[in-house]
Amino acid sequence: MKNLITILLVGMISLGSFAQKKVAKIEFKTDVIDYGTIEKGADGVRVFEFTNTGDAPLIISNVKSTCGCTVPKKPKGPIMPGETGEIEVKYDTNRVNPIRKTITVISNAETPTVALKIKGLVVDPAKSSVLEKKKKSSVEQ
């Protein structure tokens, strides 16, 4: 009887380990990209790099932005376990403003929704402020 119970117990433990579901995991190098201060019309393309640290293929189904001024681009195919991928983000730098945008990544990963952020400031060098003109004139005197 003890042998039968032992065999049943070992069998249940074995089934439990086989029943573990394989899952994709997405791990970004960083979840924030800081453009810093850039000039109007500068290159607005930046890249979020990630790795599938899970044990199943990672499929990114959607990548969307909070604004039409930011255009994200998702990988086309699945990212296999251990492989890396990129999400390209293009910000319209013809808009002279502070940058504060969120990009939402939706996938089959263990954490299915991830929020990425971009930040920075776009300035127009042709339009200097009154304070900057005052500083320049006081330095020249």
- The pTM of the full predicted model, rounded to 2 decimals, is 0.76
Determine the pLDDT at residue 12. Answer: 56
Determine the pLDDT at residue 85. Answer: 97
pLDDT, tens digit (0-9, with 9 covering 90-100), for 44-101: 999 999 999 999 999 999 999 988 999 999 999 999 999 999 999 999 999 999 999 9
Amino acid at 27: E
Determine the pLDDT at residue 14. Answer: 53
Q: Which of 70-73's residues contact partners 24+ apart within 8 Å by CB, and which partners?
A: 70/101, 70/103, 70/118, 72/103
List, in order of start, the domains of the chain with CATH numbers: 22-125 (2.60.40.10)
Structure tokens belonging to residue 59: 């499929």
Query: Taking residues 107-120, what's their average pLDDT?
Result: 97
Structure tokens belonging to residue 140: 């020249």
If pLDDT is split at 50, 70 and 90, which confidence band does 134 have?
very low
